[in-house]
Amino acid sequence: MSLRRYLLIGILLPISLLIVINTVSLYRQTLAAVNTAYDRTLLASAKTIGEQLDVEGYDDSSVLRATVPYSALEAFEADNRSQLVYRVSNLQGEVISGFGELPFWRGSIPNQGAYAALVAFYDDFFRGDEVRVAVLLQPVASARGRGMAVVQVAETLELRQTLARKVLFDTLWRQALLIGVIALVVIVVVQRATRPVRRLSEELQARPEGDLTPVAAPDAPRELLPLIDATNQVMQRLQALIGHQKRFVRDASHQLRTPLAVLKTQVQSAQRGDVAPRQALREIADTVERATLLANQMLALAKVEQLRLQTDAQPQDWPELLRSIVIDISPLLAEQDLDFEISTMPAQVRAHDWMLRELARNLLHNAIKYTPRGGTLTVRLVTDTSYAALTVSDSGPGISAELAARLYEPFSAGDVRQGSGLGLAICREITHALGGTILLENREDHGRIVGLDAIVRLPLVHNDA
C-alpha cells in the first residue's frame, strides 16, 4: 500500500464514520427542533378551538357544544403540503365536533410539561397517514354551566419531514465537500512530502554501477534521516566487503602465481632430466605443500570476513576447544619432542566454533614451527572479571622490532621458506572479529630472549542468573 493510500484510508475512514454518526444525530436533533416549532402551532390551534366551546350543566351532567368552522384553522396551516384536522370530545371520548376518525386520546398529561396549559403531544395515524397530535384539556365555563373538553389537533408530517430532509441534504453536501477538501489536501501534502524520497530514488538509480559513495540529501525531512544514515552504513559495509574481495582476488592471483611458476619450472626440469627423479619429486611435493597451505590460509582469511558479518555466534567452551586442538596436533609435538604443558580455567566466549579452532591452530603451529627440537611449549588460559586470556609461550628466537611492526600484515612471514605469512594475519582478523586483542611479546631472561608469548584476550560470556 502506498503512503498516499494509507493516509487517505487512515484519515478519511474515521472522518467518514464520524460524519455519518454526526449526520444521523443532526437529523434527529433537527427533527426534534422542527417538532418543537410546529408543536407550538398545534397548541395555538387547540387553544383557538377551545375558545369556541360552550357548555350547559355542571361537571358530569354538563353538555358541551362547539361551533368551530374549519376556516378557523386555516390561519395556522403553514403550507399546503400539510393538513390540519381536529376533534373535540368530552372526557368520556364522545365526539362533540371535528373528525371522529381521529383516534381519541387515552394518554396522560406530563407532570412538568413545556407549557402552562394541560397539553400533551404524541404521534398517531389518521386515515393511514402519520400525524402529530396536540391534545388540550380545556376547562369550559359559562353562565349556564361548567365542564371539561378534550381538544385534539393533528397535523400530517409532510412539511416537517421535508424541512428536516432539506437540513440533512444541506449538511451532507457540505460534509462531502469537506471530505473532498481533506482528500485533496492529503494528496497534495503527501506528494510534496515524498518529493525528496522520489528525488533520492532517482539519484540512486542514476548512479553508475559500483558507486557506493554516501547518499547526500540535505533537504530530506527529519524523519528520513535515520533511513539515509542506515543506507550509508550499509553502503560502507558493502564497500568494505567489496574492497576485501578485491584485495583477496589480487593477493590470491599474486601469491599463487609464484608457487605455480616454481612448480612449472620444477616439472620442466624433471622432464629434461636435470635432476634425479627422487629429488625432483621431493621438490615438487614441497612446492605443492606450500601452495596448498597458502590456498587454505587464504580461504581461511576469506572465511573470517564472511563469519564476521554473521550474527548467529553462540557461547563456546574455550578450554574444551583448546584441548581438542592439542589432541589433533599431538603428533607434531611428539615429532619435535617438545616439553608441552597446558593449563586452563573455565571460560565461555561468544564465537563461531571454526574461529576459535582456527585461532588456536595457527598460534600452536607457529609456536611449534619456531620452537627448537626438545624445547618447551606452554599454553595457559586464565580469566578475570571480563576477559579470558590465552597465552601460547614458545622457546624460540622471538621476533625483532622490525619484524614485529609488520608481522600482522598478510604475506609477512618471518621465514618465507617455512610459511605463507598469513597465519598471524588470520589470528588478528579472528581476534578483532570477536572483539578481542592479540599481542606478541618477547620473553627475556637476564636481557636474553628466551622465547615468544602470543597473548589473545577475548570478552567472556556472563551467565546471569
Q: DSSP labels for 304-334?
A: HHHHHT----EEEEHHHHHHHHHHHTHHHHH
- The predicted pLDDT at position 129 comes to 87
Domain span including residue 68: 3-166
The overall pTM is greater than 0.75: no
Last residue of a domain, one of 118, 145, 166: 166
Would 57 be classed as within a structural domain? Answer: yes
pLDDT at position 410:
56
In a domain? residue 373? yes
Pair 327, 389 in one domain: yes
Query: 155 and 271 in one domain?
Result: no
> Do 266 and 415 fall within a single domain?
no
What's the pLDDT score for residue 414?
45
- What is the CATH classification number for the domain harbouring 419? 3.30.565.10
State the pairing for strand pair 84-90/95-98: antiparallel
In the chain, how many domains are there? 3
Judge if 256 and 369 occupy the same domain. no
Identify whether residues 242 and 341 lie together within a single domain: no
pLDDT of res. 70: 63
Cell of 58: 355542571
Beta bridge partners of 141: 146
* 219, part of any domain: yes
Closest by Cα among 111, 102, 83, 112 to 150: 102
Q: Identify whether residues 322 and 288 lie together within a single domain.
A: no
CA dist 255 and 373 (Å) reads: 30
- Which residue, among 257, 352, 247, 332, has the nearest Cα to 295 in the 3D structure? 257
Q: What is the pLDDT of residue 253?
A: 67
Q: Establish if 420 belongs to a structural domain.
A: yes
Identify whether residues 366 and 304 lie together within a single domain: no
Same domain assignment for residues 248 and 147: no
Domain boundary among 278, 309, 340: 309
Q: Going residue by residue through the chain, which has 465 residues, state the pLDDT in tens, using 9 for 90 and above.
A: 677 777 778 888 888 888 888 888 888 888 888 888 888 888 888 888 888 888 888 877 778 887 776 666 665 555 566 788 888 888 888 888 888 888 998 888 777 655 656 888 888 998 888 889 999 888 888 888 888 889 989 988 888 888 888 888 888 888 888 888 888 888 888 888 778 777 888 888 888 877 778 877 777 777 778 888 888 888 888 887 777 677 766 666 666 676 778 788 888 888 888 888 888 888 888 888 777 777 776 777 677 776 766 767 889 999 999 999 999 889 989 998 999 999 999 999 998 888 888 889 889 988 998 899 999 999 999 998 899 999 999 998 888 777 766 665 655 554 433 444 567 777 888 888 888 999 888 888 888 888 999 999 999 987 653
Task: Note the pLDDT of residue 317.
Answer: 92
Q: Report yes or no on 187 lying in a domain.
A: no
DSSP state for residue 345 in the 8-state scheme = -
Q: Which of 309, 330, 360 is the last residue of a domain?
A: 309
